[in-house]
């Protein structure tokens, strides 16, 4: 896939992901509990890669392919940040 994330921003309920092909995705934070429960400062500490978005402090990785496919958090653990 040639599409990558080039910017990420947040409002109270949505993660907005700007893609390299010009599209912007609005993703409900409820799809990603670690991000939903994170502090705003933690959400801003992300790294972009060719395949997705990574939050080291939150142990969260989101692929652009997964977002485009409409997939949310695929984990079934209780590792959600409090």
Separation of alpha carbons 10 and 28, rounded Å? 10
At 22 the three-state DSSP class reads: coil
Residue 81 domain flag = no
Residue 46 domain flag = yes
Residue 29 domain flag = yes
Q: What is the pLDDT of residues 26-66, one digit of tens each?
A: 999 999 999 999 999 999 999 999 999 999 999 999 999 99
**What is the CATH number for 49?**
3.30.2020.40
**Structural domains in the chain (count):** 1
pTM: 0.85
CB 30 within 8 A of CB 77: no
Residue 58 domain flag = yes
Q: Tell me the residue range of the domain where 60 lies.
A: 5-68
Residue 79 domain flag = no
Separation of alpha carbons 80 and 68, rounded Å? 23
Q: Residue 2 above 60 pLDDT?
A: yes
- Start-to-end CA distance of the chain, whole Å, equals 34
Residue 22 domain flag = yes
């Amino acid at each position: 896939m040639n599409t990558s994330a080039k910017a990420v921003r947040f409002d109270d309920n949505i993660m907005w992901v700007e893609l390299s092909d010009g599209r912007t995705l609005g993703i409900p934070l409820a799809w990603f509990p670690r991000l939903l429960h994170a502090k705003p400062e933690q959400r801003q500490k992300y790294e972009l890669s060719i395949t997705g978005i990574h939050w080291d402090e939150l142990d969260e990785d989101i692929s652009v392919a997964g977002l485009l496919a409409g997939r949310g958090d695929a984990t079934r653990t209780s590792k959600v940040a409090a």
